[in-house]
Amino acid sequence: MKIAEIVVAVDFSECSRAAGARAAMVAERYGAHLHLLHAVPPVPYPAPAEFGLPPTVTQDMEEQATAKLQEWAEELQATGREVSHQVTLRPAVDAICDAARERGAELIVMGTHGYTGLKHLVLGSVAERTLRLAPCPVLAVKEALAQASHTLGRILLCTDFSPSADQATEFAIDLAGDFGAELHLAHALHPMIPAYPDLPPPEDYLAQARVAAGRQLESVQRRITDAGLEGTSNLLTGDPATAIAELGELHGLDLIVLGTRGNTGLKHVVLGSVAERTARLVRCSVLITKAADETD
């Protein structure tokens, strides 16, 4: 697998420091270049007097952010990484996605808040919109700095057997092989008929669905085994995002990989519900890949 360019979204929080550490670890493995990007939040300019802000507030913020980002870049350069940095006055999501396109990045890395309780269900608006709109895989880092700097030892690949999941499978196999990691596999079987969610399924529906899903899971597992990787195969039952999160806690995972559709137009703003809910629920990093447009 080729990862030559990584865009790292920086907001100067501890979350983005953790993202920088994980990005540096991945860059070291692949010899990739890191591009640090900070977007200064838009401020009315010239600033109205009633805001109590100096008329040069945007310029001051840009200068301060540039100086701070330079410090971060120098810290990473001291570890032997090739690093560039950029401060932009555009909205964060637009800036991140455009930078990835312009630089031909193979990966975007960004931090998310590792909340507990009810806040644990919130990724943050920038992270969620980037996951939806990014032109390349996005690694959302949820761990603290000390954990994020560790290598990847246990990866979970989640599949629904779709073309988007197939791309995620290739990415996960390559990543696990390059890091010498275990690669666990999971498919969550929801106990309902998708077209009729309010009706109880026939008694033999779940049994037949488990047999069919088991065959497909074995096929994916053979690809993993043929690549020389070790890990468990898990056929789960229940709400997919919840089941995946519970499995993640059980295995002490470092990363969960799953795919989502790469639609255009109005569909492009909607991340697959399972992918989005999984990214919210789990406590480890999540890497989301996108396949080409699929027909529903």
Q: What is the pTM of this model?
A: 0.86
Arch. (CATH architecture) of 1-142 = 3-Layer(aba) Sandwich (3.40)
* pLDDT one-digit tens code per residue, 77-122: 988 889 999 999 888 999 999 999 999 999 999 998 644 333 433 4
Q: Where are the domains of the chain?
A: 1-142, 151-296
Token duo for residue 169: 């499978």
On whether the 151-296 domain is CATH 3.40.50.620, my answer is yes
CA end-to-end span of the chain, whole Å?
Answer: 29
Whether the domain at 1-142 and the domain at 151-296 fall into the same CATH topology: yes
* pLDDT one-digit tens code per residue, 204-243: 777 888 899 999 999 999 999 999 999 999 999 888 889 9
Question: Facing residues of 278 across strands?
Answer: none
Collapse the DSSP code of 27 into the 3-class scheme (helix H, G, I; strand E, B; otherwise coil) and give the result.
helix
| Separation between Cα atoms, residue 11 and residue 119, nearest integer Å | 19
